[in-house]
Structure 1
Amino acid sequence: MTQSLIAVLDDDDHVRAATASLLRSVGYRTLLYASVEEFFAGAPREVDCILSDYRMPGRSGLELLEELRGRACDVPFILMTAFLSDPLRSRALSDGALAVLDKPVDEERLLGLLESALEH
């Protein structure tokens, strides 16, 4: 059985590494990116889910979501932010995000969302 591959985008090295460590500890494989530009430049393989920070240098996680949906890419997408607001949550969900998580992210909630997203 192939382990699911999760792309993690966050400009904070520590958050990116901690998130990847958590995901690997429960059996997921990870690809790590510090920006949307790095994600696209890395010619990412097919991923099973994207976990992205909202605020990053260059394009935001929300802009990544919009671009992917514009390309008819329906990979499950979870947005994380330390700047959560109702308008941001509403926009992300209407653009197709599975969830918008407030930082610091509740690990159990994140893992539950991933499990649910990857079952479908």
Structure 2
Amino acid sequence: MDDEPLVRSATSSLLRSLGFDCHTFSSGEDVLRQPLASFACVLSDIQMPGMTGVVLAQHLHHRAPELPIILMTAYPNERAQTLRDAGCVVDLLEKPLDGDLLQATIEAAIRARLHAD
């Protein structure tokens, strides 16, 4: 999820080229209107108008604690790191995204979720 259409499109293209099926959203509110059980993982930018990625991660973790959440940002912040340390967020990636690291992070998050179920 990213509020910038070009970033959202580029990230979606990258994920699809890596073999992931993905859905894009422009806001946290849009994500929360979806059936969370249909997601294997959520990747969200931190800096979002309205609901930030950090607030979205808190909502998602409360509603679906088993759902892996990965935050990405060009501006790491303490609240996101606190969520990561508390286990609410699987990882915190810095933009620009490295495709290999993104793929490894998502695969590890999904694998960990499958082994936990």
Normalising by the residue count of structure 1, what TM-score does the alignment of the two structures yield? 0.83
1:119 maps to 111
Letter in 2 for 1:103: K
Superimposed CA distance per residue, residues 55-113 of structure 1 (whole angstroms, 9 cap, x where no aligned partner): 1111111101111122243211100011113x234212025111101111111111111
| Superposition deviation, residue 40 in structure 1 | 2.2
Give the corresponding residue for 1:4: none
* Greater share of helix: 2
Task: Could you tell me which runs of 5 or more consecutive residues in structure 1 were left unpaired when the two chains were aligned.
Answer: 1-8
Shift of residue 44, structure 1, vs aligned partner: 5.5
Q: How far off is 1:27 after superposition?
A: 1.4
Q: Secondary structure in 1 aligned to 2:57?
A: helix
Q: Give the % identical residues.
A: 35
Q: Which amino acid aligns with 1:102?
A: E
Does the 8 Å contact 2:3/2:26 carry over to 1?
Answer: yes
Length, aligned pairs only: 111
Question: What TM-score, normalized by structure 2, do the two folds share?
Answer: 0.85
Instruction: Indicate the RMSD between aligned Cα atoms, in angstroms.
Output: 1.6
Note the C-alpha offset of 1:25. Answer: 0.8
Rounded Cα–Cα distance in structure 2 between residues aligned with 1:36 and 1:99:
18
Structure 1 residue 12: Cα displacement? 0.7
Shift of 1:43: 4.7
Q: Name 2:115's counterpart in structure 1.
A: none
